[in-house]
Structure 1
Amino acid sequence: MNYTYQYPHPAVTTDIVIFSVRDNKLQVLLIKRGQEPFKGSWALPGGFVRIDESVDECAKRELQEEAGLEDVYLEQLYTFGAIDRDPRERVISVAYYTLTPSAHLTPAAGTDADEVQWFSVENLPELAFDHTEVLRVARDRLAAKMEYSTIGLQFMAEEFTLSQLQTVYEQATGKTLDKRNFRKWILSLDLIAETGKRFAAGAHRPAMLYRIKEPDRVEIIR
């Protein structure tokens, strides 16, 4: 039987923060909105939860529809529920975040976006809705996780140098790390191995390339 609720219902959306390290900078994927409100403004991928889907399903669908991305691991970040966060109606958003090598992604604007682009987190355009706050919370969570976990390895390509890995940790945490201590720590975990190949950049001495020994042992975001 049908039931009429006494109280009005807020709408529910999802927003997705995708981090990657590109050109030695921590970057985030944004879409240019193709419709009002905030048409033409940059925003995080996301959208309204349908009545017949879960919030997890919505996040994955919106990521595909707006950024052309599939099979991306997403972790729930936080629920944002400020009363005036959306000019259309009362909207509560469940935010997600992830980190991945950009080489694994081929973003493309979908049906609900005019453009999709990577931006440095240090040089962002003005964002729609409360997405500046969503992104701040996601970056704080990422930095905190990087302080005590190995999730930085998720950013890496199949082969990488220790300097490249250290850059990832420095970009994600916003801190300069001691080279010797960082290398001692990461090698002590026994998660990476030398490939026998070296990487030459400029006039510097070629650096040893490493690989992840057992990808399943690398901690995912949670």
Structure 2
Amino acid sequence: MLPLDTFKSIIKNTPLVSIDLVVYNQKGEVLLGKRNNRPAQGYWFVPGGRILKDESMAEAFKRLTLNELGTEFTILDAQLIGPFDHFYTNNLTGEDFSTHYVALGYRLTIDDELLALPTKQHNDYNWFGVEQLLEHPQVHKHTRWYFEPYAKQTVLRRKFLK
């Protein structure tokens, strides 16, 4: 890990690259954790984290799934949803500067009985239906963005079926 002053300078001056894990169970529900830390503290959010310097995306994926889900998965177990810009007005230090992530969203379908969910980054976990998370006021907008294509398809389906 970097010294805090170095990391603060990076957050203040550059975007961070991360992997977000859009985790589905066998019922089609999505795993969200309530964030312990800034940014997005107190919101329901998908698990994930930063890619470290000199760490491949494949290695970061293994590390992040182990750290965030309690079980290691490979990047080959997932499907890339795409890149997303996440802009926050605050940062992990509480000092007055913003955070910018370039988040690579990956969809992962798992057997939820395999998970041993840690509490370092999230103090609570819940499985949400997609429509439920799209309407929930404490689900962070950056998490909702992963499901907007679903929401648009659902609206179109409802209009077509009328």
Q: Which of the five TM-score ranges fits, normalised by the shorter chain? A: 0.5 to 0.7
Corresponding position of 1:109: 118
1:14-93 alignment, distance < 5 Å: 14-22=19-27, 26-71=28-73, 73-81=77-85, 85-87=87-89, 88-93=98-103
Corresponding position of 1:147: none
Partner AA of 2:43 in structure 1: S
SS in 1 for 2:64: helix
Percentage identity across aligned positions? 25
* Deviation for aligned residue 1:101: 3.7
CA distance in structure 1 between the aligned counterparts of 2:127 and 2:118, rounded to whole angstroms:
12
TM-score (normalizing by structure 1): 0.50
SS in 1 for 2:148: helix
Q: Pairwise CA RMSD of aligned residues?
A: 2.6
TM-score (normalizing by structure 2): 0.66
Unaligned 5+ segments in structure 1 are 1-7, 144-173, 176-222
Larger Rg: 1
CA distance in structure 1 between the aligned counterparts of 2:40 and 2:143, rounded to whole angstroms:
12
* Deviation for aligned residue 1:31: 1.1
* Number of residues of Structure 1 aligned to a counterpart in Structure 2: 129
* Deviation for aligned residue 1:89: 2.1
Corresponding position of 2:108: 98
* Deviation for aligned residue 1:18: 1.1
Identify which of structures 1 and 2 has the higher relative contact order when contacts are C-alpha pairs closer than 8 Å and 6+ apart: 2
Unaligned 5+ segments in structure 2 are 1-12, 90-97
1:192-207 alignment, distance < 5 Å: none
* Deviation for aligned residue 1:115: 1.9
SS in 1 for 2:65: helix
* Deviation for aligned residue 1:129: 4.9
More helix by share: 2
Cα contact 1:67–1:107 (8 A) shared by 2? yes
